Structure 1
Amino acid sequence: MSETYAKRLSAILLDAVTDKDPQMQEQVCGALCDFGESKPAEVLSACEEHLRLHEKLAHPYRTIILRAMEIVVSNHISELDKDMARAIILLASNEMTKVKELVSDWQQAASSVLVAVGRRFISSVMEELLSKFQPGLLPHPCTVHTLASLSVSNVFGVVPFLTSILSTMLPMLGAAKHDSMKVVFCCALQRFSESILEYLANLDQAPDPTVRKDAFASDIFGAYDILFHQWLQSGGAKLRLAVVEALGPMSHLLPSEKLEEQLPKLLPRVLAFYKKHTETVHVSKSLSQILEAAVSVGSRTLDIHLNSLLAALHAQICVPVESSSPLVMSNQKEVLRCFTVLACCSPDRLLAFLLPKLDTSNERTRVGTLQVLRHIINTAGEYLVERRWDRPTLSIFSMKRSILL
């Protein structure tokens, strides 16, 4: 197939995008993707040119073309040359930030194109995004969102940029006035923290094995201070939940003395969210991360709050639930993860809390307790059997352990 014919066929398909029938629009998108399997460069070039030359094309149609571009780029990233990559990056960046108001489908499609290109051309994508992420200016929310998405999709490529990104972002947090922008920053801080932790966990494969947690600690604590002491106090429900989600991975990056200092305030605030939100999986996930961070620094604060932690977590396990609900199943998984952490650091107090609950007349309490016991025996059994208990407690535990196993 000649290049001229491929270009003409692409143009015909692109003109058909404006068909009023949604099914036809989806078929056109699929046809562009299919054609892109055999002629990726030609299809991408035609899409880029079409969007660039038709500035007045309505955003629903632009979204369809961008979706097709993202699929073709993802499937053929190794065949993309530098010039085409640069053209696509500029186009997608412009599409994403063309209007100030949020037009989610259109802007998300453009963001996804940048993330797809960034899997190979990370330096070029970061150069473009950072040109729109300047000190003293509040960036477009989609720029922040895309930086966050890139940090997850290309950890090794983005983490080396994060020290400067976090330093630039910190003053922006104080300039954000609307909850919607604050939520974007929270999500970014969550993703950045997760990416840093993944990078540090895989230093043997990292391009720069000299990266250390300390390099991020100061800025992460500065952000934590704003999120916890300001946004969590005054924001709406969506923002408060976004803050709690971010605090989980951020807690691992706080200086150990700062984490220990904050835990007496942090743990009760997170536990309080169990009473305020029906979908608690995000609370449980954040709590498990905070507990892991606390244990990793040898925190003594957990002992003080252990009773309230156990009561809140046990209540989550014992709530009657629809087992088929993915959110409920995910929440139970995170709650059990919390119990594993506590079993490793306070096995005696954990069993002293759980074992008497097996004698209650409430069936849901017994079932929930057995579920926790089964889990901690499988995940932290060595911490349990090594403890020196009194003979009655030991015999009860041994009996229950044999039943559960």
Structure 2
Amino acid sequence: MASSSSGSSIPALEAVQVLVSSLADESPMVREASIASLKDIAALSPLLVLDCCSASSRGGRRRFGNMAGVFQVMAYGVRALDKDEVDPLFMSKIAKIATAEIISSKELNTDWQRAASGLLVSIGLHLPDLMMEEIFLHLPGPNSALPAMVQILADFAYADALQFTPRLKNVLSRVLPILGSVRDVHRPIFANAFKCWCQAVWQYSLDIPSHSLLDGDIMSFLNSVFELLLRVWAASRDLKVRISSVEALGQMVGLITRTQLKAALPRLVPTILELYKRDQDVAFLATCSLHNLLHASLLSESGPPLLDFEELTVILSTLLPVVCINNDNKEHSDFSVGLKTYNEVQRCFLTVGLVYPEDLFVFLINKCRLKEEPLTFGALCVLKHLLPRLSEAWHNKRHNLVEAVQFLLDDQDLGVRKVLSELIVVMASHCYLIGPSGELFVEYLVRHCALTDKDSNDLERSKDASGNPDIPFQYKRLEVKIGTLCPAELRAICEKGLLLLTITIPEMEAYTGAVAMVGLPLHPHIMPLFAWRCISELCRHRSNSNTMLAECKARADIPNPEELFVRLVVLLHDPLAREQLASQILTVLCYLAPLFPKNINLFWQDEIPKLKAYVSDTEDLRQDPCYQETWDDMIINFFAESLDVIQDSDWVIPLGNAITKQYGLYTSDDEHSALLHRCFGVFLQKVNDRAYVRDKIDWDHLLFIPFGLPHPGCSIPLGHSPGKAKRHSG
């Protein structure tokens, strides 16, 4: 046949023949290279490649060793044909080559068979009737290739719904008479075909909504197939048959009559729910079908819901624990399946919520109060997902949701804490955190910004000790999946959530800023990164940061400026702390300058950039073996010079009291305690009140003995760390 013209040079016939013959080479690398080259040539001259491939395919697999490669190249060539290049006689010849190979073997789903199927589908994209007539020739009577032919029709429906759907009646009229003789091993193929054909109908209705093709004959065919799948195939002992049948039924529920669907619900719902006892992949397929069933039963424009909420509770109770399996191992292939399952479960709950919003809300709140880990975790996930989507319907339920969340604040499970934290952020964005509960929830997030690995171990031991014998057996597997969350992930979630609230929701500024300031003296490591970033963002986004500072001064539970100053200086100890913590703290000091005596502001504007410059390159710092000693000296000098600049006795004395309070925050082996001790020594050197100094020196029983430190009145040169202390004359 003549080759198509092109501006690019086209290889000679002999060259293409050599490449085609190379498809049968023993080397896989040679075969792959030949396929790639032939596809490139087919893009320029598809007819030339098709001529050579069809000539080489004479004799089939027995003569040519790589028919899969030949069919693959031919399928690509057929797709590359322009409309004016499509010759029905030539296409018919190629189609017969493919079908002859398929019917000559009892094998199923081999590489060459899939390639032959792809070739026939490619022909169908140009000439659907020609391809279908070739397939129909091999459907009647006993035929070992029957499943392969049905699979080709399924692949064609998936590839081109617009051309397949108008021909659905012809397909069903030929396939239905042979369904009764289909063996169990082949039933999944037929069920999958019905699924694909129904999907094609849905796609056609979306693309051409004004043109419905479901006449009385097609509806009769679909009703017959539905009953066969529901009553016989879905009850099979073979799991693959049951799964494929449920998938097909899930696509058919929106196409059959409402009368038939209502009659099928008592049998269909338990059939789907039974599959949730299997693995994660099966759960995803079951959930897809369940969502289609709920949509067809509840949201049909043809009449009222076919299911009452009481009838839906068994479905919802089955779905809740399924939420737990979505987040096992992000590096595992199951993660994508779990995530898709999670999304499908949420779509199911949303479908129910659109029809029964109040009933669903009560159902979820009650599950939260049970404090059974899988059910609580699932209910919180659903609440988090539905709150933005059902906000109007649930508006008058705000108080109930706040109470339910408060009830769970003491839950020990990390997974529950994670989703509870996320729910709090969603609630804040919808104005649920107003009044005392707002500050309580923000404090909950703040405290989890300080969660350590040790805290996590304590929680796990507490769970192991208490146990929960009432959790059903099928949920035990899910407990492990929830528990894979690590403290670092929970900290990150809370930090990001609080930062988001701080900079996007004006109503939350008062809560986040105040709680951040309140939290500073509570624990030596409590939410340090969040506090600095939160306060920084508040001050940066406000045109007048003094407004926030004035609000803080008005609150009795906010630490006074002296406590803040000492706290921040001591927490500067580690220049390599995560996410440039030291630089964040120094930035906050600049923003908080209005809290301190006025003359400190200019000094800090000059000195703080120098400190930030030193810690800006952490990799360079690690190369210096003395970086920690140098950095501690810089902090001490900064602290001492700040006291010199302030020169306010009314401010310095409260500062000493603030320093002594800090010792209660650190254990004897905490690295911060040495820096705090040096700051205390510098402070005592700056005080002229001898009685005050003597009183602090006599404070040894409360301070130095618990820390194992020498008595400052005898041996410590003030301003030096205990490790460097030397004897000197009094």
Normalising to structure 2: TM-score of the pair? 0.50
Sort the Cα spacing of 1:389 and 1:137 in 2 relative to 1 into closer, same or farther, 3 A: farther
- The residue matched to 2:63 in structure 1 has which SS? coil
Specify every segment of 5 or more residues in structure 2 that has no aligned partner in the other structure, as ranges: 4-9, 406-422, 431-730
Q: Which has the higher helix share?
A: 1
Q: How does 1:1-400 map to 2 (within 5 A)?
A: 6-53=12-59, 56-58=62-64, 61-76=66-81, 78=83, 80-82=85-87, 83-102=89-108, 104-134=110-140, 140-177=146-183, 179-204=184-209, 209-212=211-214, 214-279=216-281, 280-295=283-298, 296=300, 297-319=303-325, 321-322=327-328, 324=330, 325-359=335-369, 361=371, 365-378=375-388, 380-381=389-390, 385-386=392-393, 392-393=399-400
Gap runs ≥5 in structure 1: none
Cα distance between partner residues in 2 of 1:13 and 1:214: 53
CA offset digits 1:5-50 (Å, max 9, x no partner): 6321121112222221111111111121122122211001110121
**Is residue 402 from structure 1 mapped to residue 412 from structure 2 by the alignment?**
no
State the 1:146 CA deviation.
0.6
Contact map agreement 1:213 1:253 (CA 8 A) in 2: no
Give the Cα separation in 1 of the matches to 2:263 and 2:25.
61
Alpha-carbon contact 2:16-2:49 (below 8 Å) kept: yes
Please list the CA deviations of residues 63-96 of structure 1 after superposition, one character each: whole Å capped at 9, or x if unmatched. Answer: 0111112223234454642243333222222233
Residues 281-340 of structure 1, C-alpha deviations (whole Å, 9 max, x = no match) = 111111111111112253333534211111111110124732531111111111111111
* Counterpart-to-counterpart distance in 1, 2:365 and 2:124: 52
Question: What's the offset of the Cα at 1:189?
Answer: 0.7
**Counterpart residue identity of residue 355, structure 1:** I
For the residue of structure 1 that corresponds to 2:66, the secondary structure is helix
For 1:221-269, what per-residue CA distance to the aligned partner results, in whole angstroms no more than 9, with x for missing partners? 2112221211222341111111111110011111110100110111111
Instruction: Check the 8 A contact 2:157/2:200 in 1, yes or no.
Output: yes
Contact 1:89 1:117 in 2 (8 A): yes
How many angstroms does 1:188 deviate by? 0.6
Q: 1:95 to 1:138 in 2, by over 3 A?
A: closer
- Partners of 2:85 and 2:98 lie apart in 1 by 15
Task: State the distance in 1 between where 2:190 and 2:196 align.
Answer: 10
Distance 1:235 1:360, change over 3 A: closer
Cα 1:276–1:93 change in 2 (3 A) is same
Distance 2:181 2:296 in 1: 30
Change (3 A) 1:261 1:135: farther
Q: Is the 8 A contact 1:228 1:243 kept in 2?
A: yes
Which amino acid is 1:286 matched to? S
Range with greater deviation from structure 2 (113-122 or 196-205): 196-205
Q: Which segment drifts farther, 167-176 or 395-404?
A: 395-404
- Larger relative contact order, structure 1 or 2 (CA cutoff 8 Å, min sep 6): 1
Q: Percent identity?
A: 24
Cα distance in 1, alignment partners of residues 147 and 339 from structure 2: 32
1:212 and 1:140, CA in 2 relative to 1: closer, same or farther beyond 3 A?
closer
Instruction: Select the structure of larger CA radius of gyration.
Output: 2
Q: CA deviation at 1:276?
A: 3.1
Alpha-carbon distance between aligned partners in 1 of 2:215 and 2:327, rounded to the nearest angstrom:
40
Output the aligned Cα RMSD. 2.9
TM-fit CA distance, 1:404: 6.2
For residues 308 and 117 of structure 2, the distance between their equivalents in structure 1, rounded to whole angstroms, comes to 41
TM-score (norm 1): 0.88
How far residue 360 of structure 1 moved from its aligned partner, in angstroms, is 5.6
Deviation at 1:366, TM superposition (A): 4.5
Task: Quote how far apart the aligned CAs of 1:196 are.
Answer: 1.2
Q: Kindly tell me: are residues 292 and 138 of structure 1, through their superposed partners in 2, closer, same or farther at Cα, counting changes over 3 Å?
A: farther
How many residues are aligned here? 396
Q: 8 Å contact 2:367–2:375 — kept in the other structure? A: yes
Q: Identify if the C-alpha distance between structure 1 residues 158 and 314 changes in structure 2 by more than 3 Å, giving closer, same or farther.
A: same
